[in-house]
Amino acid sequence: MNGKVSVAGADADGLAAWIAPGRTALLIIDMQVDFAAPQGVLGGYGVDMSVVAPALEQAKVLAAAARAAGTPVVFIGLQTAPATDSPAWRERMRRRGGDPDSDSGLCRIGEVGADFYGPTPEAGERVIGKTRYSGFYGTDLDARLKAMGVDTLVACGLTTECCVDSTVRDAFHLDYHVFIPTDACAAYEQDIHDATLKILDLNCAILTSTDDVVAAWTEAA
């Protein structure tokens, strides 16, 4: 599932209309140092960051195409602090045998780990900080998108099964049309990535590829 999954009717003309810049925003989710860089927290734990590197590069391509076409680019990033850590998440980690204090130390506000990595915001682009998996939970993302006249989202980021999944589901529940370029998302295990995309395709999103999205936005530009 690294490339486009065929969907009836999703030809080039259809996709160009469906994700036209006047109605669409690109969401780049949690592409941050702690989740994507060797020097981040997960890299320090020994997680192989090479598996997410291709998605970072494809997200850069998407961001460049969106900017050229006039499609808004919105960066969503985890921004944590002890005061906003989830008690339920901490207790779950404890029950699983983890250390809630060390396990909560991802993307701390003011630390390098929270910085965007790979694609990065340009001046004037919208940045949404969140404290939970979904980019919509406890944020003004929905209000900002609606104020821009956006009803369609192209969503990419890290990780496929966690924050991308949660954000896409909430977007669908808020009546956005959601498209996922599968090669611009990644999980640390390929089978998890593939399974999540299959479920999202069944329930709340249309799968596509970076190449097809870029072609649609290039046509619009």
Residues serving a catalytic function are 30, 130, 163
Dist. CA 65–CA 62, nearest whole Å: 5
Residue 77 β-bridge partners: 129
Angle (CA) 32 26 142, round 5°: 95
Dist. CA 20–CA 189, nearest whole Å: 33
Dihedral over alpha carbons 110, 111, 117, 123 (to 10 degrees): 20
User: What is the Cα 207 distance to its own chain's centre?
Assistant: 14
